[in-house]
Amino acid sequence: MKIFIDTADLDEIREIASWGIIDGVTTNPTLVAKSGRSFNEILEEIFKIVDGPISLEVISEKADDMVKEAKELISKVSEKYRKNIAIKIPMTSEGLKAVKNLSKEGIRTNVTLIFSANQALLAAKAGAAFVSPFIGRLDDIGQEGMQIVEEIVEIFCNYDIETEVIVASVRHPIHVIDAAKIGANIATLPPGVIRKMVKHSLTDIGIKQFLNDWKKVKK
């Protein structure tokens, strides 16, 4: 399973990418705004750090406007990095129209705000390269978010659908394990969740014991 980092914080992207575990990046206007830096500056730095799919989100609501905005986003990125761009499109009827038109032009899309297997299937049929079910938000309203991922993965496998499933709105490391066991292609994770995946109390205890024993050997 591939791991994407879900942030626009360049320091976090740079640090965690240095671990050799990051395959792509997902961003949105909220994450960019939190960074406090210019959009173009952030984009160029992200593309330099991570050689993989980078999702950039449109904010328009009409299909024609989404297509126009997507092309404007692409134009802001240096030509050598454009192969890595995926345009995030909301799961609406207008969004499906935009996905269809963009895919015809060879522009990859990531359909976001997926909350059902039906939505994921429609997005895939429209030509989406990625679909992003938001499992944490489903959990918040009392639905089992990971069940949606399981349904999507099963349907896509039944019909050899090439659209990749990005598990989004991940809240804790258990979500990551569940996504991997189900067979999701990708999980996009906030930096905090990635850092929690690294840690285990027994690892810390083992390192401390090793260092204490080594001090005794040296004496």
The answer to whether 22 touches 32, Cβ cutoff 8 Å, is no
The two structure tokens encoding residue 106: 């060879």
* Cβ contact 70:86 at 8 Å: no
Examine the residue annotation and report whether 88 is marked as an active-site residue of this protein.
yes
Distance CA 50, CA 53 (A): 8
In this structure, how many other beta carbons lie within 10 angstroms of the beta carbon of residue 48? 12
Q: What is the dihedral of CA 87, 76, 51, 16, to 10 degrees?
A: -90
Q: Residues 6 or more apart from 13 whose CB is under 8 A from it? A: 5, 7, 22, 25, 45, 46, 49, 50
Of residues 2, 68, 76, 88, which has the active-site annotation?
88
The Cα–Cα gap between 168 and 103 comes to: 22
Going 197 to 203 to 208 to 210, the CA torsion angle's sign is: negative
| Active site amino acids | 88
